[in-house]
Amino acid sequence: MKVLVTGFEPFGPWQRNPSGETARHLDGATIVDAEITGIVLPVSFQRAAAPLIAAIDELHPDVVLNLGQGGAVGVRVERNAVNRCRAPEGGDNDRYEPQGEAIATGGPENYQSTLPVTEIVELLNNVKFNAAPSDFAGEFLCNYVMYTTLHHIATQQLPTRAGLIHASPLREEVPDLTNGKGMRLKKWIDFAESVLYLLRTSIMV
C-alpha cells in the first residue's frame, strides 16, 4: 500500500505550519506495510496543483491524506470539498485573492471524501483527540487541495481514496491556550499515524 500525505508551508502570520511539518516527518516512513510519501505544498492557488498532481501521477498511491491547519480547537475530518476559491484579505502567499471563482470550470459543485470519515472520527476520539466530522472545509487552500485531489482522481478514473483532515495550529503560536486550543507537533504526528494505521487496516485488508 502506498500513501501520499500532503501538508502546507506556513502562511499569513503563522511562523510554522504543523500540517507541512507532519507531512515532512512522515515522508519515508512505513506503517505496517504502508509506504508513506510526504510532500509540502505552497499556500498558493496558482502553484499548489502542479506538485500535487505530479506526486499522484508518479506514486500511484492507494490513499491521499491531505492535512491542513484549521481552527484553534480539535481535529476536523472533512466530508466535502466545494468547487470554489476564496482567500482572506491579503490573499494567499502570492497575494492572489480569488473571490469565489471555480477551481475546475465545469467541474462538479462538490466532491465527497472517499475516506471512512465516521470511523476516523471514532478512532481519534477513542484515543483522546477532540475529533468531529465537518461538512465545510472552507474555500481557501485546504479545500482547493482536497477538491483538486478528488477531481484528478475522478477524471483520471484512479482507484485512489482521498480526503482532508484539519487540525489546530501549534500551541507555541496560539497565545490563548484555554479550552484546549492549539496542539503540539507530536500530537499532530500521533493523530496522523493513527489515521494511517486505520486506513491500512480498513481499506487494504
The count of other CB atoms within 10 Å of the CB of residue 102 is 14
User: What's the CA gap between 187 and 167, in Å, rounded?
Assistant: 10
Among the listed residues 141, 146, 100, the one whose alpha carbon sits nearest the alpha carbon of residue 9: 141
β-strand 131-134 against 75-78: which pairing, if any? parallel
Distance, CA of 84 to CA of 139 (rounded, Å): 6
Q: Which residues are catalytic?
A: 78, 142, 166
For residue 60, count other CB atoms closer than 10 A to its CB: 11
